[in-house]
Structure 1
Amino acid sequence: MAFYQQFAQILNRHPKTKLALQLSASGFIPAIPIFYWKQNAVAEREERRHEVATKLRIPNVQTIDDLLVEKCQPGDVILFDRRCECCASGAVAAFGCLLGKTFLCDEDDGTRSVERGSYEHCGIVVPGLSNAPGAQYDPSNLCLLEATPGFGVACRPLLTRLEMSRSRSVILLPLSCPGEKRFAVDQDDDSNNNLSEKTRFLKDQTYTELTKFRDKWIEDSEKERYDRQHSFLSIMGVLMYITNLYPTFPIPISPSAWLVLQGLQECGAAMKLNEKQAQETRVEDFTRDGRFFEKDTVRLRPGWKFLSPVVMRETSTS
């Protein structure tokens, strides 16, 4: 007791020291639950990674995820209704996720192609890294390219990314080029051999351009250390959006949506926009058909379209 009395007397004689300790305590106390939350989120992600890595896979037996991945092609867009509390990249990344859900996601007003969900993150399906014969049309070689806080611009196998996801909902927006009949009832299994010459050219062009796009952004991300910038860019983009200052600042409102739109433009699917127009794109904009809406939508070039959404993962909204 005498020690604490002496310590209090010392602090009273040194008000600046007392103030510094009070400020330190005020920052340390709320840091405790944040630290505990992050440790728990990281542990859960590692547990999921171990579960996926050690998953028993029976030869010639396909899971639901395998079947869903088979529906995907380069250029498809995948939307995520993420659980911000599961973000293992830190408090800043979780805060950016929460801001995006609060201010960049609209309530369903009948214009969206999906009924439920707050989609504030997205990625684009790109060719994988394998150059083996036949890999161009092998679904197991597909990857998802996305802007992330933990890995920068990441390119991960699509099946693994889907299995690792803890999002409330994951939606696939299949991209169809002119003349293509994806998911047609009378479509043969060997549909790639039944495409017209023009359609095949567009498919090959999409594959080639998205491969270049993938390599360029992975290289630039590593060079610029984008993993350290993503969360702050996301937060600044939302703040600029809610204050209506985004037209005067050269940053995207949603980095993940901006990256996907860049990929669609590079492969010739999306209308070319100036840089500022592209930076104003939100993830929500992919849920509206640009053929019928002029505002808050991603406009594709004539003949290109997003088909009806395919639910890849849907869990409880609680």
Structure 2
Amino acid sequence: MTRQRGNGQDDLQPGRSWDLVGVFGPGLSELCRAGTALLPGVTGVGLSAGPLPIGGQEASPVPRVRFSSDRASAILESAQETLADGPCHEATATRQPVHAADLRHPSWRERWPRFTPAALNAGARAVFAWPLHAGGVRHAGAVDMYRRTPSGLRDADRSAAVAFTAAAAELLTMERFGVDWTGAFAHARLDHALLALAGGEPVTGPPGLARDTAAGLPLARWLDGASVPQLRRQVHSLSTAQGLIGEEGNRFVLAVHEAMINAVSHGGGHGQLLLWRRAGRLWCEISDHGPGIGTSLRSTGTARSRRRRPHGFGLMEQACTSMDVITDSTGTRLLLSHELDSRR
């Protein structure tokens, strides 16, 4: 038996995840349907997910089947949902990848006494699961993959699986926002990217960096160090158009700029910016797939804790109506908002 477990983050290439989101977003279904082409080392792909936590509450611990690529993966996903047993449940509970390279080994039947016989009867000989978390946000659930032959995954396949899972988690988060990103993503796609990704070729740079920006909201952009100045100007233009002007508008734009700089500096050189209007506020989310902040995000009233806070956090809190931060070893997600003048 070969059993490997780890956090998988060493394999993650932030730009690769953004490539997948840009090509297949904003919906999750397109990414899932392309799964077996993007992951040639596996036979089938399934995805089960629960909702994001709301208002600080824990997410639902019961993932529901969202996708299965073929009959066998449908059986595997359904069995795990019905039997409450298997790699998806273990990955969800431990927040760690699970690799079972040979399900015929007795230890897997001992570990998953209900799931393993069902998986073997469906023709699966190896199964792998990655928990759905990225950019500091954790969804209940996992991406499940299976093979008809017993063996582990090559390094390239593992890297592709981690990037695929991170992209799926990002798209689930956008879905949870309830905002239609279709128009914003349409022109962020690269014409050649789908064929290049399916053929295993690298895509040059995150999608959208060289594209002209759209006039309007919502705005979805991938960012790196070179694109930050242009994005700052665009955020200023769009916030002004929404009535956020004067000193308040300037402070909000500066807060967004500081968040972008932090994402590029500490998030592996890439990040993502989303800007939209909802419920009388202008919202901006900046996320990355870096190692996480790893420090206290809120001031505890001591000089030492304030010194340890990431650069610009005090400015952001003062400039915005609200600031929410989620961070862990998969990255950081910063959500800023500012109230808009209802008279405008």
For CA contacts below 8 A with separation 6 or more, give which structure has more relative contact order.
1
TM-score by length of 1: 0.25
TM-score by length of 2: 0.24
**Whose strand proportion is higher, 1 or 2?**
2
Q: Which has the larger radius of gyration?
A: 1
